[in-house]
Amino acid sequence: MTKPRADRVVLHNISWEQFENMLLDLGDHRSARLAYDYGTIEIMTPLPEHEYYKEVIGDLVKDLADELDLDYESLGSTTWRRESSLAGLEADNCFYIQNEAAIRGRLDLDINQDPPQISL
């Protein structure tokens, strides 16, 4: 029996502009996750078990922050990209903890100025 896994496609020799266009074409409301690194893009569709563990770990981070009386901001599966590094990824979940006060209430985040402290 074949063990289930997330479906993945890896493409090589993809320019930064092509990566940006893929993100625009696919839109914000999709199940696929993209990661880009120096011309290589991976497109993955997570399976239910992946989503289960994502939720368990996210809940753990939130519970620990609450127990330690730490303010946090959860931004979910935000797409983070930095053209200068030719890298982009979509974390399953990301949290601002150490710098939470600096981004509180903001929706115009820029990873060059506002990097998250924990990415899962």
Percent of the chain with pLDDT strictly greater than 70: 89
CA distance 22 to 3: 30
Residue type, 36: Y
CA-based Rg of the chain, rounded to a whole angstrom?
16
Least confident range of 2-6, 15-19, 54-58, 104-108:
2-6
pLDDT in tens, 6-29: 588 899 999 999 999 998 998 877
37: pLDDT strictly greater than 60: yes
CA dihedral defined by 70, 72, 77, 83, rounded to 10 degrees? -110
* Selection from 89, 88, 110 nearest residue 99 by Cα: 110
Predicted confidence at residue 108, as pLDDT, reads: 80
| Alpha-carbon distances, residue 119 vs 9, 22, 49, 57, 62 (angstroms) | 22, 23, 19, 11, 13
CA distance 82 to 13: 18
